[in-house]
């Protein structure tokens, strides 16, 4: 899978990027509860070291964005 960095324009394979997934665990009555919140995966560019989201977390609130084709949600 090819990923293009929105900051510097570097285009590389997904294996070249660093993926950070934040997970929070809650302990309730000595049991670990899984967090219900949805968190996007942060992708860090190997060239400019800037992070961005592969999938826009606010995508669902938008329909078609004219200037950023990556946000295009053609199914809706
Ligand atoms: Zn970059």
Q: How far is the centre of ligand 1, averaged over its atoms, from the C-alpha of 32 (Å)?
A: 37
For 63, which DSSP code? S
Chain segment 4-14, per-residue pLDDT in tens? 999 999 999 99
* Assigned domain for 12 exists: yes
Beta bridge partners of 62: none
User: Which pair of structure tokens corresponds to residue 29?
Assistant: 């009555």
Query: To the nearest whole number, what is the mean pLDDT of the chain?
Result: 79
What distance in Å separates the CA atoms of residue 75 and residue 46, rounded to the nearest whole number? Answer: 31
- Count up the domains in the chain and report the number: 1
* Assigned domain for 48 exists: yes
Reported pTM: 0.57
What distance in Å separates the CA atoms of residue 9 and residue 16, rounded to the nearest whole number? Answer: 14
* Assigned domain for 76 exists: no
* Assigned domain for 6 exists: yes
Q: How far is the centre of ligand 1, averaged over its atoms, from the C-alpha of 60 (Å)?
A: 25
Q: Range of 33's domain?
A: 2-71
3-state secondary structure of 71: helix
């Amino acid at each position: 899978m090819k990923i293009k960095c929105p900051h510097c324009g570097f285009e590389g394979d997904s294996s070249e990027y660093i993926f950070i997934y934040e997970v929070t665990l809650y302990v309730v009555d000595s049991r670990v509860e899984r967090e219900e919140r949805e968190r996007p995966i942060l992708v860090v560019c190997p060239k400019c070291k800037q992070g961005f989201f592969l999938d826009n977390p606010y995508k669902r609130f938008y329909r078609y964005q004219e200037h950023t084709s990556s946000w295009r949600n053609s199914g809706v």
